[in-house]
Amino acid sequence: FELSAVEDNFYRYNKVHLNLKENMSRYSRYALAAACLLVSGCSAFGPSSFLNKGLTTKQNHAASAFISKNNVAVSESSSLKMSAVEEIGTSTKMEDYVEARGGNRPIRKVLIANNGMAATKSILSMRQWAYMELGDEKAVTFVAMATAEDLKANAEFIRLADSFVEVPAGKNSNNYANVEVITKIAQEQGVDAVWPGWGHASENPVLSNTLNDMGIKFIGPTGPVMSVLGDKIAANILAQTAKVPSIPWSGSFGGVDDGPLEADLTAEGTIPKDTFEMATCRNVDEAIEAARKIGYENGIMIKASEGGGGKGIRFVENEEDLTNAYIQVTNEVVGSPIFIMQLCKNARHIEVQIVGDQHGNAVALNGRDCSTQRRFQKIFEEGPPAIVPKATFREMEKAAQRLTQNIGYQGAGTVEYLYNADTNEFYFLELNPRLQVEHPVTEGITGINLPATQLQVAMGIPLYKIPEVRKFYGLPDMYGDSPIDFLEEDYKDIDSHVIAARITAENPDEGFKPTSGSIERVKFQSTSNVWGYFSVGANGGIHEFADSQFGHLFAKGPTREHARRSLVLALKEIEVRGEIRTTVEYLVQLLETQEFKENTIDTSWLDGLIKEKSVQVERPPHLTVLSAAVFRAFEHVSSMTEELKESFTKGQVATGSIPSINSFPLEIAYQDTKYSFEVTRMSNEIFSFSINGNVIDVRVIKTAEGALLANIGGETHRILGQEEPLGLRLVLDGATILMPTIFDPSELRTDVTGKVVRYLQDNGGNVEAGEPFVEVEAMKMIMPIKATESGSITHALSPGSVISAGDLLASLSLKDPSKVKKILTFEDSLDLADEPLEVTASEALTNALAGYKCDAEAVASAALAEASDMSSSSAIVIEAIEEFMRVESMFDDQLLDDVVRNLAKANTEDLDVVIDLNLAHQQLLPRSKIISSLLRQTENFSERFGGESLPEELMESITKITTLKDKIYGDVLLDASAIIEGAKVAPFESRVEELKQKLSAGVDLVELSQDVTLSAGVDLLTSLFADSDETVRKAAIEVYVRRVYRAFIITDLDVEDIDGRTTCSFTYRFSDVTEAESVSRSGMLSVVDGISSLDAVLGDFETKFGESDKSLNSVHLAIVGESPELADLETVITGSADKMTSLGIRTANTVIPVKKKDPSYFSFPACDGFKEDPLRRGMRPTFHHLLELDKMT
């Protein structure tokens, strides 16, 4: 969890504490301590804060890695390795406090015989108490036990401890549950006490007894009491003896008149062995017999007396399932006695928190409702139990107090009941002789620090002298010593509600199967009403021997609803990144159900939801698919980029893989459907996904924390992903979705990490789809894995084999291959919002010049469309040319390999530069088209913005292009050269005016048409076709016709006005054929306002030349009005095809004068049905003949 870690904060707050006024409430100090913990973070309490420097010795790999990562020095201790710690402080504050409060055994050094959540919480709580109560955070020092797995996982509790001792790795019987290891460390480290936590050896009376014999305090009940109460079977017998209501179980028979078993305790404080044995089911047959007596009407629970936390418990509804369930329980809690009990339907799981001291006192600190369970594992815990009437709950508390007080119970414990809200009846379930993981719920509603209370009880302090207990009972003097009759006196009314949520490494989509792996980051921010703690930190993990729970969140409010809402908000904000799956988003859905809001749930509620899959975290399937494509596309680009950069570092210069970085196929499988995308990068941030002809552009930005922010359809989505052996684990907007890899249906693979316990069918036996075929152990749980298809099975491993997610467990000879589920190919459009991605014109131009795919003409036009004046337009073109030249100047006239090699050497710290430059150069053709398009548009800058010439800066930039030497730059060189040459020509208006003066001066028009100086002015003549001076107009038309037809012999030419149309009629023949052999051809050029005048012009042609059966003639329309669209031109001309054919017209031509530019030319030959010939477009009417283009068509 991301909290700032500055060690000095701790000491700064310490100084503040010492300056507090004496009459300041000590409970405001606890708030300060909590703030101190949150501000300082765990590092402030980590090993580095308390260690001597410079001590080193040889360690194994895991310890070395942890020590290196956390700056911990170590020293040798016998065969175990431990971290060095400063001498315990010489302060007597602890001794003074214990004496003042009536205790007899100061405890200064504690061994934490646990790991994970338990170890983390105990150190945080007891250290907080020591600082706030004694003003000395080192009044108690902590020694942790650490396995190689915990060290590798960077477990938080190791960082919190003052020192640690490395213990054997593997299952807990090697370490945290191993009495010999624990007691050996306790003795060697000279600790005063051992805190066992929960799980592991916390309920093993041998540990308590052994430590007692060694003179070391066990922070918990004595061995004999633990033996009788910690065992669920013994506890039930004891409850029956004390007349506490019990539900039917295997101990409900065999007593007097075959009634409930009862027993007086032996001198050692234990249940007589024969009575105990009568309540157990030592084998399957005894379990079946007991179940038959109880009856299957409500269902049967098979339980291990040494189980807990959801382990060693199964529910069955018939005798057939009982055998397998019994075996699973015995495998899950090896060696534990087994008993059978009836399921209490519609029951709530209600707990009473008790604490007993060494003086015969027992206090009930309210309780908790833990009814939200799945597979008997608690999910939410809350307090107080609002469902139970106050009077009934007080009866539960008193029964729990009597039960524990009568046998001299010491320490914290929990009495659990099943409660039926409909009948207001409760039944004893069990007593846990230890602290429970959900104890912070009780802390939140009572204000009592339970680990610290355990410590004080262990030091012999009476409960009524513990300040927090006195405050809870409303006594005005917290530091007084007046006795409290806990059975008769009531504590203050509870005025708040706390709801807790367990954060576990489990997959809710697969029946809450546990997962293991690394954790990159846990992001959680405590607020004023929600706090939490985690057993892992950044770059940590959950290993296969750990408990699946690694975090706990607690929300507090004045009412249950306030607490629920606060918890929902907190869960929505939490983020866990790594290889594990978590239940976080599923918990939010549960909290939002109507049943939870109305508090109408029972212990079977969640299992029912899971079975029916009625609560699911869903995301739109097509959004999920595209998000998966986004993640994989981004990863593809990242991985290929890294491979290419790696090759550069090795001196390789190949760049052929760059195109495949930016354009590649991508396949996503989801919900039995395969989606095939073509992915193209449109920029460094924009990916274009094409599927079935539909294109979706997505802008993707990677945050500093590694998440992808993807703009899809106008909405931003947060995407995280993790490739796993079984597929892609996608986290989309906080919801986790598994995108499975498509496997051979005949392969049965595991989705958990652990080991094989046993196969349920013989090798070669038959298994049906949905039937369990193997049992595996994962995270200390035994769970079945079901076959996905039917067939005969072949085992791939043997029992005991270690497995990882994705490993092959067995193969199938399919019973009916035709019935195997088919994977369909998606052939439709994605159902996503049709909101185009916004890309500015300048951004599009930048992307295009960087070498990304684009429409060159469209990009160039859009870029200049935004400009409003000559200066801004020129700046855009200049910037584009400079970027083009920046890249190409490196490659021009150079060997590519040499360029790449030199770039790699010059950019060793940023090889992305090398890839970017090569990407741009490889896309030279489209980039050149962009530059050419921009250059062409500069030709009308003067007309668009005014001014006679282009800015000098722009011309200088264009001139740079002409310095390129390589022939591959030919097209853009020609365009640049044309502009430079054009800049040397007189302005358009001047040239037109000069030509007009010549025409009006009465020059010889035939001679002028043949003048070589007219070459650059032929097209200028079209600008005078509509001149107001008739002499100029007619002269311009005549010179134009004679010039265009100079390769022919014009035998007759006449210019006249016909109905307001200036018309030139002429006859001509080929010049390279004798007059005797030549054929006379007729032509007409008519100046008209629009294409609609074609019929009139054809009428003029018919009047002048008549009809002809030979296609020899030509007609020209000079359209001086509004320029028509080409399509309109073609429509009108083809509509007159018959008429033109009858007139012997071989080609219809149009010339459209364009102000200050060359005119537009279009030709419509008869041979193509008078459709426009693109090959002749832009050519004067006779050029195609001179160039012999007819031979090319």
The C-alpha atoms of residue 881 and residue 883 are separated, in whole angstroms, by 5
Residue type, 865: A
Secondary structure letter of residue 93 according to DSSP: H
- Give the whole-angstrom CA distance, residue 206 versus residue 868: 89
User: How wide is the angle at C-alpha 809 spanned by C-alphas 807 and 810, nearest 5°?
Assistant: 135
What is the crossing angle of helices 223-230 and 205-214, to 10°?
Answer: 170
Pairing of β 686-691 and β 694-702: antiparallel
CA distance 354 to 457: 12
Distance CA 731, CA 581 (A): 10
Sheet containing 530-534, strands listed edge to edge, beginning at the edge strand earlier in sequence? 425-432, 411-420, 347-356, 362-369, 380-383, 497-504, 549-557, 530-534
Q: How far, in Å, are 24, 49, 366, 489, 985 from residue 485 at the CA level?
A: 29, 43, 16, 6, 113
The DSSP bridge partners found for residue 74 are 83
Q: Of 108, 368, 374, 434, which one is the catalytic site residue?
A: 434
Alpha carbons 814 and 793: distance in angstroms, whole number: 9
* Helix or strand holding residue 94 (H, E): helix 93-100
CA 722 vs CA 572, 628, 665, 1133: distances in Å: 20, 10, 20, 64
Structure tokens at 415: 């009495």
Return the bridge partners of 739, or none.
Answer: 728
User: CA–CA separation, 470 vs 344, rounded Å?
Assistant: 37
Instruction: Tell how far CA 293 is from the center of its chain.
Output: 53
Please list the residues that pair with 725 across neighbouring strands: none
What CA–CA distances, in Å, run from 686 to 524, 679, 720, 1002, 1143? 31, 10, 18, 65, 59
SS3 (DSSP) at 271: coil
Q: Are 431 and 404 in contact (CB under 8 A)?
A: yes
Hey, what amino acid is at 343? L
What's the length of the chain? 1193
CB-hemisphere CA count at 13 Å for 399?
26
Neighbours of 1022 (CB within 10 A): 22
Phi, psi of 1082 (to 5 degrees): -115, 145
For residue 823, the 8-state DSSP code is P
Q: What CA–CA distances, in Å, run from 1185 to 642, 1070, 1140?
A: 58, 11, 20
Whether 434 sits among the annotated catalytic residues: the reply is yes
Instruction: Report the Cα 372 to chain-centroid distance in Å.
Output: 28
For residue 912, give both structure tokens.
């992305």
Q: Contact, 795 vs 763, CB < 8 A?
A: yes
For the chain, how are helix, strand and coil distributed in percent, rounded to 5?
40, 25, 35
Secondary structure (H, E, C), 1084-1113: EEEEECCHHHHHHHHHHHHHHHCCCCCCCE
Distances from the Cα of 720 to the Cα of 196, 634, 717, 738, angstroms: 38, 11, 10, 12
Cross-sheet strand order for the sheet of 540-542: 540-542, 517-523, 575-578
Residue 686 has a CB neighbour count (10 Å cut-off) of: 19
The answer to whether residues 732 and 719 touch, using CB atoms and an 8 Å cutoff, is yes
Active site residues: 434
